[in-house]
Structure 1
Amino acid sequence: MGSEEVSNKQVIFKDYVVGVPKESDMELITSKIILKVPEDSTGILLKNLYLSCDPYMSGRMRKNRGPTYVETFQPGSPITGFGVVKVVDSRHPNFKTGDLLWGMTGWEEYSLISSPSPDMFFKIEHTDVPLSYYTGILGMPGITAYGGFYELASPKKGDRVYVSAASGAVGQIVGQLAKLTGCYVVGSAGSKEKVDLLKSKFGFDEAFNYKEEEDLDAALKRYFPEGIDIYFENVGGKMLEAVLSNMRVKGRIAVCGMISQYNLEQPEGVHNLFHITTKRIRMEGFIAREYYHLYPKYLEMILPNIKEGKISYVEDVAEGLESAPSALIGLYSGRNVGKQLVVVARD
């Protein structure tokens, strides 16, 4: 493409938020960018193809937050997140023009990454599956599901598994991995459409709409009369409280996220934690990058299952960079059905 100057749409983070983020906390601007990496740089210039909307991103919009594993967005700068990209120009020895990658990029049409760190991008070697899958089942959510379920929860055939936010980017994968392992699997979601999806598309044994349940404890007793062996935690708050009452002795809770708590100024307390002691429950949090070293092993397992139709994946696709703020905010009211992503360009 030479060193031509082109326009570059960007989604800019305006200022730190309090409470639930809004679309108006972001704005779409158009700037200019030269399609060439500066000669004194070891950077890469990327064309962004697909962007991932993930629940943890609201935490990056807050100035005063507790312990965290990812930096806060900078007001006046583009939002950043996981995405699928194509290398337009490179002065980095590990990347060449035309490479397809997934990793951390900007919410803009083109991103200049001045010094990519070793674990910032993964090369996409398999293009006989949809490229968009690398925002989800073949990207960060996939390795999250794989590491959290297999490495942390240690499933075995016959285990009773409960997954909250089960139709989301990670939950739908966990439920299907559990079925492949020979587990009994129940998921919860927030609409009839999502509940139907869990049973008809993803093969969950049972599913329920948590919004229709007046008593979550009673709902879990209905689906798990003998208790829960593994809980894959995506929600927190009252859901976690109900689960603790229904865990079996030596149960495992893999804490992936707690979306019900992300936008509260005062997080809810959980009042029955002593179950952890009496039932000898192992409850452990984790983050995806702890399992990045398992990515090749994960691909080896998951790709054949996708190609043979043994694992399905549902995406909620928003078209155009201008739709990105709405797509992200929709996560916090459960508007998305499946993995939320944004198409910036298809090539």
Structure 2
Amino acid sequence: MNTKQFVLASRPKGTPTLQNFRKEAVELPQIQEDEVALKGLFYSVDPYMRGRMNDAKSYVPPFTIDLPLEGGVVAEVTDSKSSLFKTGDLVVGVLPWREQMTASAKGLQKIDPAVGQASYFLGILGMTGLTAHLGLTLIGQPKAGETVVVSGAAGAVGVVVGQIAKIKGCHVVGIAGSDEKVNLLKEDFGFDEAINYKTTPDMQKAIAKACPKGVDIYFDNVGGDISDAVINNINFHARIPLCGQISLYNNTETPVGPRIQPRLLTRSALMQGFIVSDFAKHFPDALKELTGWVMADQLKFTETIIDGFDQLPSALLGLFKGENTGKMVVKA
């Protein structure tokens, strides 16, 4: 079977461009025992993929030049030699950027579209939701009445973090990059306050105003100057789940910012980086709770859906320009 795929053509220096990707034809092998043939339906693009474009040691191996990129994919089973799946089943897994593919059945999970639309299993009911839930609850440990600040608040993880914090009884402040996103956070997702960092001349003062009792939990998705401003407002015994640093991913040099250790020390604060797989044993309980909140309409979600498999590289690059609200997904 002949299909199309996107491979990593070259490693980027600084911000990636379309020239770092190459679309090509590939012939797929016949499926073997315990394998399935799949047709891709929805493809996830995520900020962590930028790190995998570098030839650097990390928590996941880098992408290989001239081989397909990969990520979360919802796909339909078109043929099966596995007892686990039949033709027509919908599955989710980490799969290559191909229109059609073959895969081992063992690495796939069947999804129930009755619970939520299929793309949700790449977002609120997938790794995005788990990242938000477990980072906030296990590291942040929110308590009713506390103040939670979320950077990248209109992104896939941020909108979920803020809503879970509200469910837990917290005062929630989001930081985003446009007035439209600020209004969305307050009107659609229930944030108490939101700040447009692009039009705010003094972020430290703006955060102090939005958080009159100080900051108890800072869920950090972006790093950089925004995080410096938030950390200058933290309370004693504050907790900082360190989820992402998207403002720094394309830097070619390591920036020197304020030294945050004195602030952490004098506030007896905790900052902990995490990868969602660190908490794998908690996945079943967290997914059950997320599903319950979604079905009860306590937890809302938004997606930026880009039509067309050919748009995968452009969609990934769009993350670094703030072109998404909520989860960025490509629909084949």
Aligned sequence identity (%)? 39
- TM-score, structure 2 length as denominator? 0.94
- CA distance in 2 between counterparts of 1:151 and 1:276 reads 19
Give yes or no for contact 1:155–1:181 (8 Å, CA) kept in 2: yes
Q: 1:309: which partner in 2?
A: 297
Distance 2:230 2:83 in 1: 49
What pairs up with 1:191-230 in 2 under 5 angstroms? Answer: 191-230=178-217
The CA deviation at 1:15 is 1.1
Q: Report if aligned partners of 2:115, 2:291 keep a CA contact under 8 Å in 1.
A: no
CA distance in 2, matches of 1:82, 1:221: 38
Deviations 1:129-148 (Å, cap 9, x if unpaired)?
A: 11010111011111100110
Report the CA distance between 1:212 and its aligned residue.
0.9
**Contact 1:228–1:248 under 8 Å retained in 2:** yes
Residue 25 of structure 1, aligned match among 20, 26, 39: 20
Shift of 1:298: 2.0
Post-superposition shift, 1:126?
Answer: 4.9
TM-superposed deviation, 1:227: 0.9
The aligned amino acid for 2:46 is D
Per-residue CA deviation, residues 152-182 of structure 1 (Å, 9 max, x unaligned), is 1111111100000001010000000001110
Match of residue 230 from structure 2: 243
Matched, 1:125 2:112: yes
What displacement does 1:103 show? 1.9
Conserved? CA contact 2:8–2:66, under 8 Å: yes
Is residue 237–residue 269 contact of structure 1 (8 Å, CA) maintained in 2?
Answer: no
| Conserved 8 A contact 1:185-1:204 | yes
Q: Deviations over 1:232-282 (max 9, x none)?
A: 000111122112211000000000010011110113233232111100001
Q: Once the 2 structures are TM-superposed, how far is the Cα of residue 218 of structure 1 from its aligned partner? A: 1.2
Secondary structure of 2:304's aligned partner: strand
- On the 8 A contact 2:130/2:287 being kept in 1, the answer is no
Contact 2:44–2:330 (8 Å) recurs in 1: yes
Partners of 1:161 and 1:185 within 8 A in 2: yes
SS in 1 for 2:156: coil
Instruction: Kindly report the root-mean-square deviation, in angstroms, between the aligned alpha carbons of the 2 structures.
Output: 1.7
2: CA distance, partners of 1:61 / 1:297: 33
Give, in whole Å, the separation in 2 of the partners of 1:315 and 1:292.
25
How many residue pairs match? The answer is: 331
| Secondary structure, aligned partner of 2:138 | helix
Q: Please point out which of 94, 104, 109 is paired with 1:104.
A: 94
Q: Secondary structure at the match of 1:257?
A: coil
Q: Which runs of 5+ in 2 are unaligned?
A: none
- Rounded Cα–Cα distance in structure 2 between residues aligned with 1:267 and 1:171: 25
Give the SS at the match of 1:292: helix
| One-letter identity of the residue aligned with 2:11 | Y
Aligned position for 2:277: 289
